[in-house]
Amino acid sequence: RISWISDVIVVVSPENTETMKTIIEKYGHKKVTVVKGGITRHRSIFNGLKVFAENEFSSHLLQKPEVVIIHDAVRPFVEEDIVAKVVMAAKEHGAAGAIRPLVSTVIASAADGCLDHSLERARYRASEMPQAFLFDTIYEAYQQCTDYDLDYGTECLHLVLKYCKTNAKLVEGTADLWKVTYKRDLYAADSIIKDNLSQQVCVITNVKETLAQVGFLLPESLKSQIKVEAISQSLSKNDSHLQNIISGQCYNFVCVNDKRCAIQEIQELVDMLEKSNIPLLYPVVLISVHLDISENNSFSIGMEDLTMIKKFARETKKKNILVYGLLIQCKVCNYL
């Protein structure tokens, strides 16, 4: 998703390595290397760094980067902007990490279970991810750290301060950097993703006068609620505008046509979706609207078209693309 990142190292537990490889192959990720993790956080990160310097964890060494970004999978909503900020800060200072204000006061308990003391919340921040480091700095820190650090430590920024005397630059993060920790957080994350995917739709019509009118009125009625991209032309595999929309991870399409059978055009759009880099982790919704304004329109003929779309939809559903057919029959175009 972020073009200027050259390699992505995914560190997973040994028992889940094959599952992760299957996922990567299924969704066509090209620059991902899977590495077996260790028994602790720091040992796992160290294993991930070794693919740039040692042959133990990879069949071939990857080109050593100037800056390495460390992120954790439990924060799935990181934006490119915050990644870029910590990278630029790391290039200047040697290390950088995202922070957020504390939402609760931190207290310490005494041996008897009673309050010992509390921290002044305004003076402290929560350390978040992503964090970025000059590769040589973070790798040197891990080479020098003790087994105790590897087994009980959690903060990468502390390691480079302790062993490399590098003071990390702290970058204010966004509210999206929350952790999926408990089962209830999975439902929240799923809802956020679905809500984001539903906020954009692409309306495709051809240049015929009646359809162009529909192509204008539909976006006008929707744009107060969601982001709408409107294209008034026939589908084409060489349509760079449409390809850019797909690459921008638009998951919702409405195709308005007046052809007796629009399966061919819908098939072209499905082909474009499959060949794009859009990850089909959630269903793409494609609505084919057949506008029949002929004088001799027939309900039975219209049903034949919908039957064909229904058959086509059963096949595309296997690819996580949901196709729906809508037939609109009218003799007076003024109804539009």
Average pLDDT, the chain: 85
First to last CA, the chain: 40
Question: What is the rounded distance in angstroms from the CA atom of residue 248 to the CA atom of residue 278?
Answer: 8
Residue-level pLDDT at 142:
97
Q: What is the mean pLDDT of each run of 10 residues along the chain (336 residues)?
A: 90 94 85 94 95 74 93 91 97 97 93 94 93 97 96 95 97 91 90 81 75 72 80 62 76 80 77 76 83 63 71 88 81 49
Q: What is the pLDDT of residues 2-18, one digit of tens each?
A: 889 999 999 999 999 99
Decide if 173 contacts 96 (C-beta within 8 A): no
Residue-level pLDDT at 136:
96
Say what percent of the chain tops pLDDT 90: 45
Domains and CATH numbers, the chain: 8-181 (3.90.550.10), 199-329 (3.40.50.360)
The model's pTM is 0.70
* Cα distances (Å, whole numbers) of residue 32 to 23, 44, 72, 104: 11, 16, 15, 37
Which of 210, 319, 327 has the alpha carbon at shortest distance from 262?
Answer: 327
Question: What is the rounded distance in angstroms from the CA atom of residue 142 to the CA atom of residue 136?
Answer: 10
Question: What is the rounded distance in angstroms from the CA atom of residue 322 to the CA atom of residue 314?
Answer: 8
Burial 249-274 (b: 16+ CB within 10 A, else e): bbbbbbbbbbeeebbebbebbbebbe
Residue-level pLDDT at 96:
98
In the chain, where does DSSP find H-type helix? 17-26, 41-50, 80-93, 135-144, 147-152, 156-164, 183-197, 209-222, 240-247, 263-275, 299-317
Q: Considering Cα of 180, then 185, then 189, then 190, what sign does the dihedral take?
A: positive
Q: What is the pLDDT of residues 109-133, one digit of tens each?
A: 999 999 999 999 989 999 999 999 9
Q: What is the pLDDT of residues 178-192, one digit of tens each?
A: 899 999 999 998 888
Q: What is the pLDDT of residues 82-94, one digit of tens each?
A: 999 999 999 999 9
User: At residue 205, what are phi and psi to the nearest 5 degrees?
Assistant: -135, 170
In 156-293, where does DSSP find H-type helix? 156-164, 183-197, 209-222, 240-247, 263-275
